Amino acid sequence: MQCLVGVPPIARRATPDFAAAAKYPDGMQQLRIGLVVLHTSPFAPPGASDAGGMNVVVQAQAAALAAAGHEVTIFTRRSDDAPDFDDVAGSGLRVRHLPAGPPTPLPKSEIDRHVDEFAAALREHFAAMAADGALPHVLHSHHWMSGVAALDVAAEFGIPHLQSFHSIAATGTSHDLGRGEPPESPARVPGEARCAQESDGIVAVSRAEARTAVERLGADPARVGVVGPGVDHHVFHPPAAAPVPGVIVAAARLQPLKGIDLAIQALAHVSPDIRPKLVVAGAGSADFADYESELHRLVAEHALEAHVEFVGPLGRAELADLLRSATLTLVPSHSETYGLIALESAACGAPVIASDAGGLREAVRDGESGLLLATRDPAEWGAAVESLLRDDDRLSTMRTAALRHAASRTWERSAAELEAHYWGAASPAAWLPEGDGPVVLLHAHPDDESIQTGALMHALGRHVRVDLITATRGERGEVVPGPLAALAGTPELDAHRRGELARAVAHLGVTSHAFLGSPPARAVGEPRRYRDSGMRWVTETLAGPAEDAPEDSLTSATIDEAAADVAAYLRDVGARALITYDRLGGYGHPDHVRCHEAGLRAAELAGVAFIEVLSPDNDDDAPSVSLALGHHADAVLAALREHASQITVDGADLVHSGGQRTPITYDVELRRRR
């Protein structure tokens, strides 16, 4: 066994003493998730006051996570006489109303005065949860005030903290109230920057928001993930027949950012003979009390009283009914982190005309499910509306494309993507079996560990001891062209690659490494060397050892011998779990498959948990856990670069010795077999 000298000490953050949680059928725990939504309850009706798309996203994702069996608790500010604790009927969610300021609705611009009070109440509540061994495995804050309140509390209790913004303040003199969401107070801009830079990860709702968090707030790109919203297709679905042209919809909070004034002015530029009725759904907020009056003045100014109807904020079912009645939906926002209404409209079969801004570029497929307009000229918006209303064939084609686009997004899918970020941020104690022993990974060849589980090893190494067994020396691996090519076929190549491997695993936080067949990874007899079996395709989908595989190759040895050697190592170190390939062996290399076979038997012999890394093509139905681990990219890239005789890092790709390119991956999907 090689103990790696010079490996930096493992960076361990405080780890809560978790009580046993409910289990998946395969033995992995379900998560305890804390959602912090300070300034508005997720159950407030969208379109009213400061409630909007964020409320929909949080409530829908939370419900889907709870339906998957996770324990989900939402922490929000008390704004009425609701009880301290709610079990939301039929949803599996729990809501905690924490005191922070008067128990009445407040404008968002005033709530940040009470952030410290909310943090104190959250801290007190977590202290009680810690006493019961029931702290959340992960804390996820929505909007900047929630993050500022939760960051220090999460750190004190050793809980990973994720941040979602949903809107980021406009900064600089070129931004006015119309072009971006303004800071409600001087604390917002520095508060957002702190949340971006100090959180364990950021979950953006669109690629546009992710870029903004990096460019404007200084977030580490490796710690920013994207989880798009979904649609409740039970509520938002098309009508039985296409609606009769005559109604277009604009649904949003009545604030300058949302640009409803542009929708009204655009309507004035639609020819009277085809001019539809514009139905505006939404309400104003205290911070923009004059804007709704301004909209009514615009209606009167353009003599559109017979063509514009304000219906106020609508419930989800009422909004869906409205969208089903619409020929088009307008989303003229100056900026949007995503623009959920565009996706919901598409699900109802109403194409969208939207601003070419922010996340709307992802919510609308320009020219297919709708149109994106870079201009804010009302005449051009009016012309776009009129052109579609006069072209039945194009409108029908867009309607079909809109339905197809929306069908690809569900809240179940959105929650599953979010769950991967939670598993990736949570302590491995949330999914590993109990125990103090090391986690042992078994790989077939040098560089496999960095390519396939580098991020997983680095994530584990922050909390537990990680050991690695490498089955072969990868003798059949070619040497990349260049300065190291002269090593090919020489005795020096073996020593060089052992050095590469030692340096690579040091980057990944591995404590000890052994080659299979060398003590302590040897059960009985003299040490032996398992050689690389090589690979050939027996059929189009089935791989086998190379025809000239040596007699001492891994696949030529019996499974019993290889398993006994793996089990010897597991017993020697008192392993907690063994992790290796699934039955498909990743891309099917016979040495990978043999590691799976030997590893499964070894785990049974040693009485330890067996966890497999699922291959992309594995379609077994057994439950699994996906971990989003992109925040470990720096360590993985450093490890990959050490294997310079076998692979080359080129941007986001690996270039193999034969010139093949494959994307570098960080995320893994795990399943416990025993």
Q: Residue 444's domain is classified under what CATH number?
A: 3.40.50.10320
168-226 pLDDT, tens digit per residue, is 886 654 444 454 555 668 889 999 999 999 999 999 999 999 999 999 999 999 999 99
Domain identity same for 460 and 387: no
- Domain end call among 385, 405, 425: 405
Q: Which two tokens stand for residue 406?
A: 């929306």
The tally of CA atoms less than 13 A away on the side-chain side of residue 220 is 12
DSSP 3-state of 330: strand
Q: Residue 282's domain is classified under what CATH number?
A: 3.40.50.2000
Domain identity same for 55 and 192: yes
Alpha-carbon distance 501 to 478, whole Å? Answer: 16
Q: Which two tokens stand for residue 287?
A: 């911070």
In this structure, is residue 494 part of a structural domain?
yes
CB neighbour class for 656 (10 Å; exposed up to 12, middle 13-18, buried from 19): middle
Query: How much is the CA Rg of the chain, to the nearest whole Å?
Result: 29
Q: What is the pLDDT of residue 173?
A: 40
Domain identity same for 315 and 270: yes
Question: Would you say 453 and 579 are in contact if contact means Cβ atoms under 8 Å apart?
Answer: yes
In this structure, is residue 429 part of a structural domain?
no
In this structure, is residue 260 part of a structural domain?
yes
* Domain boundaries, position 99: 32-226
Q: Which two tokens stand for residue 208?
A: 């546009």
Contacts of 526 by beta carbon, 8 Å cutoff, 6+ apart: none
Low-confidence ranges of the chain (pLDDT < 50): 3-26, 173-177, 179
518-536 pLDDT, tens digit per residue, is 999 999 999 999 999 988 8
- Domain end call among 354, 387, 405: 405
Contacts of 360 by beta carbon, 8 Å cutoff, 6+ apart: 331, 333, 336, 338, 339, 342, 354, 372
Domains identified in the chain, total number: 3
Domain identity same for 394 and 475: no
Backbone angles phi, psi at 468, to 5 degrees: -130, 130
Domain identity same for 288 and 352: yes
Amino acid at 61: Q
Domain identity same for 646 and 522: yes
Is 0.85 surpassed by the pTM of this model?
yes
Domain identity same for 151 and 187: yes
Domain identity same for 662 and 530: yes
The phi-psi region of residue 467 (left if phi > 0; otherwise alpha if psi is between -120 and 50; otherwise beta) is beta
Alpha-carbon distance 312 to 144, whole Å? Answer: 27
In this structure, is residue 199 part of a structural domain?
yes
Domain identity same for 166 and 292: no
Domain identity same for 288 and 207: no
Q: What is the pLDDT of residue 46?
A: 60
Alpha-carbon distance 501 to 642, whole Å? Answer: 7
- Centre a 10 Å sphere on the Cβ of residue 572 and count the other Cβ atoms it contains: 16
Domain identity same for 482 and 611: yes
Domain identity same for 155 and 288: no
Q: What is the pLDDT of residue 597?
A: 97
